[in-house]
Amino acid sequence: MTTLVAVGAQWGDEGKGKLVDWLAPKAQLVVRFHGGNNAGHTLVVDGHTTVLHVVPAGVLNPGTINLIGPGVVVDPGELLIELEALKERGVLRDPSRVRVSGRAHVILPWHLALDKAREEKARDRAIGTTGRGIGPAYEDKVTRRGIRVADLLNPEDLRHQLDRLAEQKNFELVEFYNWKPIDVEALWEQAVEWGRQLEPYVDHTARTLDRGLRDGMNVLFEGAQGTFLDIDHGTYPYVTSSNCVAGAVCAGAGIGPTQIDRVLGITKAYTTRVGGGPFPTEEQGEFGERLREAGSEFGATTGRPRRCGGLDVVMLRESATVNGFTALAINKLDILSGIGELKIATGYKIDGKVRNDFPMTLGELERAEPVYETQPGWTEDITGCRTYESLPDNARAYVDRVEALVGVPVEIISVGPGRDETIARTDPFRPL
Ligand code: GDP
Ligand code: IMO
Ligand code: MG
């Protein structure tokens, strides 16, 4: 039995979905533990692209059970659409392969409306959220008025819960944001229907996870977003509303810290960010545009162009610290082929002083000018490489340099979006 937590080391979209799908054949359980359908995880298998938002990326592997843990926020309508599409394709013949925690909180139409209304009102201070209601849903969870998946199965009590919530939510929507109220009667009918359709999937997932661990299963935990979008460790307030770091797996899935064996940090070979907030190595000129074109850097959830720039090891070192990475995966190395000399940020100049630690405040980060070292590039197409040794010398030198600068071994290198376009230097599920 081995447990492996896979999390994003940057601002999301590092290629977590691709790697979770690739790792899944070795795991019997794949578990999402935080976030919601703000995530967009892209899987390319035999030329067919699947984008998942809340269903774990183990689902294309027939041998896995996929758990949506209590730390996730679930938009029931969107989850049902995702499940239906998987069923139609014949990928999800057995519904018991997807289990949703009854304790996961539900994203309601109020949350979507408030997310949008707040962003509109914030104007130039907007976070650039995905508009999926994530922040407002977590807010209701923490203020202890949220509605959970299991509540959808109990229509009578649900009606009282919705009535209570409506008082506060519609007041805020109408009086503060000048938006239309949400009709509780219609919402209740809709929510009861969601409950009816979701019932076969609802589970006490922490218990299922515990049973799996006792039975000696390999378990893969699938992070969403990334370390710098984490509510505590990220570039606050330009973050999401959940903890994205590896430690969040304990509360979000229901597993003790003593049961985590390995933590895989996933990074791109360069850096991207979607939404607002500071980004020290952002390249707004031609180089950024080339990365965006070559890497097809457009959001999997909202289609927004992603901001692009060079690799930042100041960030990766901070990430390694707060997550306890035991290994790194470097994705999209193929995108750097033919791009010329490669810059790696190793420090920041802030107020005239060079530092190599990640700053504590947003103000310092906004003033940070990256200090770069350069690495020679390579021109060869590397998408066919399946071993580290077969990579061009300069591509290997780039990987080695990142490994040395971050101080964490690079165990996986991804050279294309396809499942098999992956180089593994060791088995991530090898026994300890
Ligand atoms: P996630 O949110 O971390 O799962 O990442 P996304 O799916 O949002 O974005 C990553 C994008 O890069 C997707 O379109 C993937 O298909 C693609 N991708 C992942 N790994 C590689 C790789 O090594 N090379 C290339 N060219 N594309 C990749
Ligand atoms: P995956 O799992 C990239 C960003 C949004 C915004 C901020 C807050 O695909 O890596 P939210 O809707 O969560 O309140 O938005 O977080 N964001 C992501 N960026 N990848 C994601 O998920 C993201 N999920 C949220 O763009 O800046
Ligand atoms: Mg994504």
**Ligand 2 pocket test, candidate residues 75, 239, 243, 274, most atoms within 8 A of CB:** 274
CA of 299 to the centre of ligand 3 (A): 7
**Across-strand partners of 42?**
51
- Mean pLDDT across the stretch 127-141? 98
Task: Output phi, psi for 307, to 5 deg.
Answer: -75, 140
Q: CA separation (Å) from 93 to 88, 97, 98? A: 9, 9, 11
pTM across the whole model: 0.98
Give the mutation target among 20, 141, 225 for probing the ligand 2 site: most ligand atoms within 8 A of CB: 225
Pocket lining: 18 vs ligand 1, CB cutoff 6 Å: yes
pLDDT score recorded for residue 302: 85
Give the integer Cα–Cα distance in Å for 234 and 219: 26
pLDDT digits (tens, 9 = 90+) for 24-71: 999 999 999 999 999 999 999 999 999 999 999 999 999 999 999 999
Mean pLDDT calculated for residue range 376-399:
98
**Structure tokens given for 284:** 């707004």
**Helix, strand or coil for residue 325?**
coil
Percent of the chain clearing pLDDT 90 (strictly above):
98
Rg of the chain over Cα atoms, rounded to whole angstroms, equals: 22
Q: Which atom of ligand 1 is nearest to the CA of 41?
A: 4
Q: What percent of the chain has pLDDT over 70?
A: 100
**Phi-psi bin for 216: left (phi > 0), alpha (psi -120 to 50), beta?**
left
Residue 95: how many CA atoms within 13 Å on its side-chain side?
15
- Atom 6 in ligand 2: which residue has the minimum CA distance? 129
The ligand placed nearest to the CA atom of residue 38 is 2
Instruction: Please confirm whether the linkage preceding 376 is cis (ω < 30° from 0).
Output: no
CA distance 80 to 325: 34
Do 323 and 265 contact (CB within 8 A), yes or no? yes
The mean predicted confidence, pLDDT, of the chain is: 97
Q: Report pLDDT digits (tens) over 371-383.
A: 999 999 999 999 9
DSSP tally for the chain: helices H, then strands E:
12, 20
**Among all chains, which residue has been given the structure tokens 């060869």?**
380
